[in-house]
Amino acid sequence: MGFTEKLRGKKEFIEEFLKEAIPNTEGPHGKLFESMRYSLDAGGKRLRPILLLEACSIVGGEAAKAIKFACAVEMIHTYSLIHDDLPAMDDDDLRRGKPTNHKVFGEGLAVLAGDGLLNYAFELMIESSLRYPQESYKYILAMNEIAQGAGVFGMIGGQTADLESENKVIESETLEFIHMNKTAQMLIRPMRAGAILGGASQAELDRITEYAENIGLAFQIVDDILDVVGDQSKLGKNVGSDEENQKSTYPSMYGLEESKSMAVGKIENAKNAISHFGENSQFLVELAEYIIDREF
Ligand code: GRG
């Protein structure tokens, strides 16, 4: 089976569970659940849950025991996108090719749908832990990873630094901090959580962490490059900046070619980090390559 087919199969596996995750009810919760489901069902690569389940399997764990965690990280990711699109943040009208949540349901409900998805993610993870009480310590460690990755020392911290750096000239360390926290943490922590649930040794956890850190940074560098390459009108201007909302990016700091080679270097590091897993690492190796290939 080719990589694209494997990727599609894993995505569909997750989507089957995601479809059932939010109740489909009438009544007082109806609109809230509809709004949560709207963004959750709106597509997306499902990269974070795929990585979580893969990290679990590569160390010999049962993916079925980690599926609720996989759904939970996609819910947290979706909440972050709903909030990021709000007028108070990026003020976007489209997400995943569809009108953003607040455009359909209004700002108030979009805030609540995001909050609802974040909280529901923890409800799901707790429910899953209670199901396997003999392994509860492992589940608590895995939940800690997700909480840290999504929280003030992770994604929220990174998003805050990003907001505060708008229209400012920033140091390369600040740019790396933003990328590492806003984007990479929500790839690293789900992988660590999956590996912990799968019973990883410390050495295996370290290798998976190194893989995830490298693909996480490469993912954001590539996202920055795509923003530039995708918007031809910017190419003649100062790359990575626009009049109304100036943000520092890898291309604006290092130039396009240097950014590309930095991303390629990180993908090589990621592949080396998991070479120890031999044949079992094939999917993760191909996934790392896909992160680069989809873009340039
Ligand atoms: C609002 C707390 C809070 C955080 C927002 C995720 C995020 C932080 C902002 C979204 C804006 C952005 C471009 C972030 C960089 C990470 C990124 C590329 C997110 C998009 O992830 P994909 O490509 O999206 O995995 P899909 O739609 O495939 O799920």
**Ligand 1 centroid from CA 132, angstroms:** 32
Give residue 126's identity as a one-letter amino acid code.
I
Nearest CA to ligand 1 atom 13: 223
For Cα atoms 16, 21, 24, give the angle at the middle one, nearest 5 degrees.
105
Please tell me the total count of domains within the chain.
Answer: 1
Nearest CA to ligand 1 atom 14: 183
Nearest CA to ligand 1 atom 29: 44
Ligand 1 atom closest to the CA of 47, numbered from 1: 25
Does 150 fall in a domain? yes
Does 122 fall in a domain? yes
C-alpha span between 206 and 228 (Å, rounded): 34
pLDDT of residue 248: 85
Q: What is the pLDDT of residues 43-79, one digit of tens each?
A: 899 999 999 999 999 999 999 999 999 999 999 999 9
CATH of the domain at 30: 1.10.600.10
The answer, yes or no, to whether any atom of ligand 1 lies below 6 A from the CB of 81, is yes
CA proximity to 259, closest of 211, 210, 216, 218: 218
pLDDT band at 235 (very low <50, low <70, confident <90, very high): very low
SS3 30: helix
C-alpha span between 66 and 197 (Å, rounded): 7
pLDDT at 239 over 60: no
Does 163 fall in a domain? yes
- Catalogue the E-assigned strands of the chain: 94-95, 98-99
Nearest CA to ligand 1 atom 24: 44
**Ligand 1 centroid from CA 243, angstroms:** 22
Ligand 1 atom closest to the CA of 74, numbered from 1: 29
Query: Which of 14-28, 33-47, 162-176 bottoms out in mean pLDDT, i.e. has the lowest?
Result: 14-28
Q: Model ipTM?
A: 0.92
The answer, yes or no, to whether any atom of ligand 1 lies below 6 A from the CB of 183, is yes
The pair of structure tokens assigned to 114 is 């995001």
Does 235 fall in a domain? no
Nearest CA to ligand 1 atom 19: 183
Query: Which residue segment(s) compose the domain that 118 sits in?
Result: 3-230+241-293
pLDDT at 83 over 60: yes
CA proximity to 216, closest of 190, 240, 238, 187: 187
**Ligand 1 centroid from CA 94, angstroms:** 13
Does 154 fall in a domain? yes
- For 74-130, the DSSP string reads HHHHHHHHHHHHSTTTT--SEETTEE-HHHHH-HHHHHHHHHHHHHHHHHHHHHHHH
pLDDT at 27 over 90: no
Does 143 fall in a domain? yes
- What are the beta bridge partners of residue 95? 98
Does 130 fall in a domain? yes
The answer, yes or no, to whether any atom of ligand 1 lies below 6 A from the CB of 155, is yes
Ligand 1 atom closest to the CA of 220, numbered from 1: 18
Does 236 fall in a domain? no
pLDDT of residue 238: 41
